[in-house]
Amino acid sequence: MALAEAGIPTSDKSLGPKQINLGDIDPLSRRFASILYQHGLRRGDYCQIVWPNTSLFQIAVLGIWLCEAIPSLCDYTFRAKGLALQMQDANPKVILATQYNLDTVEESLKIWNKSTNEVPIIVLGKNDPKLDKYPNFEGMVNDKKMRPPVPRQGPFLRDNVAALFWSSGTTGNPKGIQQTYNLFLHHMMPSKFITGIVIQSTLFFHIGGFVTPLHSVFHHTDYFFNGEDIAPDCLNILRAVDKFKPEFLVIGTHHCNQMIALRPDVIANLDLKSIKVVAPLGSTVHSEMIRDVKILFPNCVGCLNLYNMSELGPMVAFNMSPRALGGIGTGNIVKIADPDTGEALGPHQVGEIQVKPIFHMKGYLNRPKETAEFFGADGFCRTGDNGHYDEEGYLYYDNRLKDLMKPDNKHVYPMQIEDVMQRHPEVLEACAFGRPHPTAVEMVTAAVVLVSGSKLTEQDIKDMVANELESYKHLHGGVVFVKDGLPKNEQGKFLRKEMIKFVPNAKV
């Protein structure tokens, strides 16, 4: 159910019915599957979903699966160039858009040199004349006329690709993560954590946001979500807790920080005693967060600290304590490896966390080199994270090997931002880095060296980035100008952790 069903304020751009009953899911999914099959979607084909959270999202996914095809789940806020790169990789046979991003999807098709005759678009939305030339999703699935069922096209194999999630490589270009049916069959199993009523603020195109509603469908639990990114007003999450009395709350860590920061008088009249477990997704859970969460939700046992990545299968480690990431999840083998030699390290020695899970992604779509680097010759998957373990076998996280920044839990790599800045002839050096922020986790910030005599201002640099990249990649943390060059290692690479010293009054 969407939060708007309960009178919780939501965006004017929310789409689809406010509530879907479990009994409606099967017939609606089968109707949509028949429609997709008539549009030419076949076994192993990709269908690009460019939707925000909506009650119809899982209907679309199940319909695609009934065609034995693969949903390609992308960020609905992407600009046309980013969408086009994904489409060029996945070569989708059908695209699902909304009335609010239709122009962007059409532009991405032009960049891809495709027409809507070659790749049909099905639109979620209504009451807009420009939608008349496209099939309407709700009109199709609510049309009860008899359609032929989708025929079986081949045997069901657990190792077949079931969904395509998108991450970014070190260049910032999209990279398709081909997850198999193993992952979703695993999430059909009962969970000791996800019980009763669930409220979620995370987005469905992320793997963490994707599996929770499916779990609710399979286990017939009540599930509530927000139709748009709820971050501008996290009070809505607490209003939903007050009304529905859930025991389990799945939110981004940035949402958690924003709720904690609310003034006591704002939430004084809300009953928040039902929450027993909070699962902040996106970054590590620290002791101060757990302390403040327990104050906000007086009956909360604590925060579920989860460690995993989209490329892997079952949870690598989990814990209800901030002391460590926790014990190793069932079926996983973890080693701490010397990043240079690959040799296993002992207790309290810091190295790369490498995992051999019982199942994992099929590989990166059309990326054989990156796939080979991820899996490694010994079968251990490389996480890119540094960590260590203790004598009891508890896993600890130390830092990231990669340069990933996570403003509001969105993945941003510095090279993409630096390339934009470096193209200006008056920019001598430019380094993007994450500036710690109490609610957004990190804010993208830049340290810049200008050529002598340059008149460029901070706003000029910000505008360069804003004119080319998505909003979460903008320089919300500001720009600092450095005169004597930026700190680098012996190989000439930026020492990003040292950049924060150039930011006045920054707290690390």
My answer on whether 147 and 213 are in the same domain is no
162: left (phi over 0), alpha (psi -120 to 50) or beta: alpha
Q: Among the ranges 60-64, 167-171, 393-397, which has the highest mean pLDDT value?
A: 60-64
* 401-440 residue pLDDT tens: 777 788 888 878 787 898 899 889 899 889 999 988 888 7
Give the residue-averaged pLDDT of 48-57.
92
My answer on whether 111 and 231 are in the same domain is no
Who's near 276: CB < 8 A, 6+ residues apart? 247, 248, 299, 300, 301
* DSSP secondary structure code for residue 286 in this structure: P
Looking at residue 72, which CATH number applies to its domain?
3.40.50.12780
Give, for 418, the enclosing helix (H) or strand (E).
helix 414-422
My answer on whether 147 and 229 are in the same domain is no
When comparing pLDDT for 232 and 339, which is higher? 339
Q: Checking DSSP bridges between strand 351-356 and strand 333-337, what pairing results, if any?
A: antiparallel
Q: Is residue 315 part of a domain?
A: no
My answer on whether 141 and 194 are in the same domain is no
Give the residue-averaged pLDDT of 56-60.
92
Q: Of 237, 272, 303, at which residue does a domain stop? A: 303
Q: Is residue 148 part of a domain?
A: yes
Who's near 340: CB < 8 A, 6+ residues apart? none
Give me the domain span that covers residue 481: 407-502
DSSP bridge pairs for 237: none
Burial class of residue 281, CB neighbours in 10 A (0-12, 13-18, 19+): buried
Confidence of residue 479 (pLDDT cuts 50, 70, 90): very high
My answer on whether 53 and 141 are in the same domain is yes
Confidence of residue 39 (pLDDT cuts 50, 70, 90): very high
Q: Is residue 176 part of a domain?
A: no
- The region of weakest confidence among 14-28, 42-56, 191-205, 310-324 is 191-205
Looking at residue 227, which CATH number applies to its domain?
3.40.50.980
* pLDDT at residue number 389: 96
- Provide the number of structural domains found in the chain: 3
Q: Of 242, 272, 303, at which residue does a domain stop? A: 303
Query: What count of Cα atoms within 13 Å lies in the side-chain half-sphere of residue 397?
Result: 22
CA dist 134 and 76 (Å) reads 18
Q: Is residue 165 part of a domain?
A: no
Looking at residue 425, which CATH number applies to its domain?
3.30.300.30
When comparing pLDDT for 240 and 179, which is higher? 179
Tell me: pLDDT of 103 over 60. Answer: yes
Q: Is residue 402 part of a domain?
A: no
Q: Checking DSSP bridges between strand 327-328 and strand 317-319, what pairing results, if any?
A: antiparallel
Confidence of residue 5 (pLDDT cuts 50, 70, 90): very low
DSSP bridge pairs for 96: 49, 122
Closest CA to 255 of 270, 265, 240: 240
My answer on whether 22 and 65 are in the same domain is yes
My answer on whether 106 and 202 are in the same domain is no
CA dist 386 and 381 (Å) reads 13
CB distance 93 to 42 below 8 Å: yes
Closest CA to 35 of 67, 78, 5: 67
Confidence of residue 227 (pLDDT cuts 50, 70, 90): low
Tell me: pLDDT of 3 over 50. Answer: no
386 SS3 class: strand
Tell me: pLDDT of 76 over 60. Answer: yes
What Cα–Cα distance (Å) separates residue 22 from each residue in 19, 26, 149, 199, 239? 10, 8, 20, 17, 24
* 126-183 residue pLDDT tens: 777 778 889 999 988 988 888 888 999 999 999 999 999 998 654 457 799 999 999 8
My answer on whether 136 and 26 are in the same domain is yes
My answer on whether 142 and 229 are in the same domain is no
Q: Is residue 356 part of a domain?
A: no
Q: How far apart are the first and last CA of the chain?
A: 40
Q: Of 270, 303, 336, at which residue does a domain stop? A: 303
CA dist 419 and 417 (Å) reads 5
Give the residue-averaged pLDDT of 364-372.
94
My answer on whether 144 and 81 are in the same domain is yes
* pLDDT at residue number 327: 92
Burial class of residue 354, CB neighbours in 10 A (0-12, 13-18, 19+): buried
Q: Checking DSSP bridges between strand 70-73 and strand 46-49, what pairing results, if any?
A: parallel
- The region of weakest confidence among 90-99, 340-349, 488-497 is 488-497
CA dist 289 and 295 (Å) reads 10
* pLDDT at residue number 419: 85
My answer on whether 225 and 126 are in the same domain is no
Q: Which residues of 444-476 are buried (b: 16+ CB within 10 A; e: fewer)?
A: bbbbbbbeeebebeeeebbebbbebbbebbbbb
CB distance 250 to 199 below 8 Å: yes
Amino acid identity for residue 157 in this structure: L
Q: How far is CA 451 from the centre of its chain?
A: 38
CB distance 231 to 53 below 8 Å: no
Q: Which stretches within 70-201 are classed as H helix?
A: 80-90, 102-111, 137-141, 181-187
* pLDDT at residue number 4: 41
My answer on whether 101 and 231 are in the same domain is no
Mean pLDDT of the chain: 86
Number of residues assigned to the chain: 508
Who's near 122: CB < 8 A, 6+ residues apart? 35, 39, 94, 95, 96, 97, 134, 135, 136, 137, 140
Q: Is residue 122 part of a domain?
A: yes
Q: Is residue 28 part of a domain?
A: yes
Query: What count of Cα atoms within 13 Å lies in the side-chain half-sphere of residue 202?
Result: 25
